[in-house]
Amino acid sequence: MIADLQCVVLDCSDPAELADFYQSLLGGTVNQQDPRWALDDDWATLHTPSGLVLAFQRAADYLPPRWPDPARPQQFHLDFGVTDLDRAQEQVLARGATVLDDDFAGRSWRVYADPAGHPFCLVRH
């Protein structure tokens, strides 16, 4: 092993807003004091109950991905396990997510974008 994963960092135009969005999905603490990072208007963190840390970094002239457009690819995405896809969909949409692919037939997963345009999936356990 060479390293431990400290966090996953997402570029965005508004770090605080995106941290709040993911907190509403995952729980946890936004901007918990942590000696690894300095918190300011350009950087926010979310320490989740599972121990995962997500960080949100302001990017000048941020352009969101356009899934599935290869000219502005998704770059990466997060998968979140859920037991009830319909209920989870209601909850993420109420918090500001948008549906990227509405072809749900026969699939155990669905694709959304967070408020900054990053794709993520809800996957049935």
117 and 82 both lie in a single domain: yes
Angle at 42 between CA 40 and CA 47, to 5 degrees: 70
* Distance (Å, whole) CA 98 – CA 9: 21
Domain extent, residue 50, equals 8-58
Confidence of residue 105 (pLDDT cuts 50, 70, 90): confident
Residue 99 in any domain: the answer is: yes
CA 90 – CA 110 distance, rounded (Å)? 12
Question: 88-103 pLDDT, tens per residue?
Answer: 999 999 999 999 988 8
Same-domain check for residues 52 and 90:
no
The answer as to whether 65 is a domain residue is: no
**pTM reported for the whole predicted model:** 0.84
> Is the residue at 38 inside a domain?
yes
Instruction: Decide: helix, strand or coil at residue 103.
Output: coil
Q: Where are the alpha helices (DSSP H) in the chain?
A: 15-26, 85-94
Question: Are both 84 and 54 inside the same structural domain?
Answer: no
Q: How far is CA 63 from CA 9, 21, 75, 77, 78, in A?
A: 16, 18, 12, 16, 18
Separation of alpha carbons 125 and 83, rounded Å: 6
The domain total for the chain is 2
Measured CA to CA, the distance from residue 84 to residue 61 in angstroms comes to 37
How large is the average pLDDT for residues 75-81? 84
